[in-house]
Amino acid sequence: MNAPAISGPLQPVIRQIGLGDVFSAISKGFRDFARAPLFGLFFGGVYTIGGIAILIFLYRLHMPWLILPVAIGFPLIGPFIAVGLYEVSRRLTGGVPLEWKGVLGVIFRQRERELSWMAFVVLFVLWVWLYQVRLLTAIFLGFRSMSSIDAFIQVVTTTSQGISFLVVGTVLGGILATVLFASTVVAIPLLLEREYDFVTAIITSFKAVIQNPIAMLSFAAIVTVAAILAMLPFFLGLLVVLPVLGHATWHLYKAVIAPQGSQA
């Protein structure tokens, strides 16, 4: 007699989306920020303060040349910081009351769930990015003296070695950013909403990007440009840009992943 099969949770069903869904998600991101601005400013403020603290820390360590690479890599941790924003959007959409205790409680409970493993994924990619910058600096720039951010910018924009450093660094950084985006854009909100292991969530996230390359990569490009522009005024633009993009990511996730229980 055959033993009964043990079935696990249904695999997430990925839907086809287009550019219209991307712009709709961004529009809903603005709407959610307008409906719950204090939550958005709080989470955006945490992110902004973190960026400013890193800049001050690098100046104190007399490593101002690292400011530019760190500033470029800093948005990589945005998806994990945005967990609170996903929860706010989930509550707004589902008609669940918005209260600080409830939202923060959900965030703290993630340390006991699979979502906590995603922190290691995000931080590992950030570490690889910083290590890559150090390696490329040694290869292309050698022992040039760069005691300030101005000196670093001058070297990388006016010398052949510096331009090579920028080209190679941009290509490798773009690859890393794309890998991280593909592994987190769906995985993190999925793990917040449902009970899956983090490997399944990452695979699902990659599949969603592969099956919807134009829409998902367009969203990635919008996020990248918006984050870079938001950091120019001393990270202050992130107070608004981060919450809007965080809310938008939740709505994009809801567009590309069918409701729980749906069959492929």
Task: Say what the pLDDT of residue 3 is.
Answer: 42
Q: Is residue 35 part of a domain?
A: yes
Q: Is residue 264 part of a domain?
A: no
Highest mean pLDDT among 147-151, 179-183, 251-255: 251-255
Highest mean pLDDT among 39-48, 107-116, 201-210, 237-246: 201-210
Q: Is residue 133 part of a domain?
A: yes
Q: Is residue 201 part of a domain?
A: yes
Task: Assign 76 a pLDDT band (cuts: 50, 70, 90).
Answer: low
Q: Which of the two residues, 125 and 34, has the higher pLDDT score?
A: 34
Tokens for 247, please give them.
Answer: 């809310």
Q: Rounded to whole angstroms, how far apart are CA atoms 164 and 215?
A: 31
Highest mean pLDDT among 60-69, 105-114, 145-154: 105-114
**Is the predicted pLDDT of residue 90 greater than 90, yes or no?**
yes
Task: Say what the pLDDT of residue 1 is.
Answer: 43
Give the pTM. 0.85
**Is the predicted pLDDT of residue 141 greater than 70, yes or no?**
yes
Task: Say what the pLDDT of residue 58 is.
Answer: 74
Q: Is residue 69 part of a domain?
A: yes
14 φ, ψ to 5°?
-95, 130
Nearest residue to 184 (alpha-carbon basis) of 258, 261, 245, 98:
245
Cβ count near 253 (within 10 Å): 23
Task: Assign 169 a pLDDT band (cuts: 50, 70, 90).
Answer: confident
Q: Which of the two residues, 42 and 54, has the higher pLDDT score?
A: 42
Percent of the chain with pLDDT over 90: 47
Q: Is residue 3 part of a domain?
A: no
- Please give the torsion angle defined by the CA atoms of residues 54, 86, 178 and 47, in that order, rounded to the nearest 10 degrees: -10
Nearest residue to 156 (alpha-carbon basis) of 170, 174, 173:
170
Residue 94: domain span? 19-255
Task: Assign 227 a pLDDT band (cuts: 50, 70, 90).
Answer: confident
Task: Assign 4 a pLDDT band (cuts: 50, 70, 90).
Answer: very low
Task: Assign 6 a pLDDT band (cuts: 50, 70, 90).
Answer: very low
Q: Is residue 215 part of a domain?
A: yes
Evaluate whether 168 touches 140 at the Cβ level (below 8 Å).
Answer: yes
Highest mean pLDDT among 19-33, 67-81, 124-138: 19-33
Beta bridge partners of 257: 14
Q: Is residue 144 part of a domain?
A: yes
Mean pLDDT of the residues in the chain: 86
Q: How many domains does the chain have?
A: 1
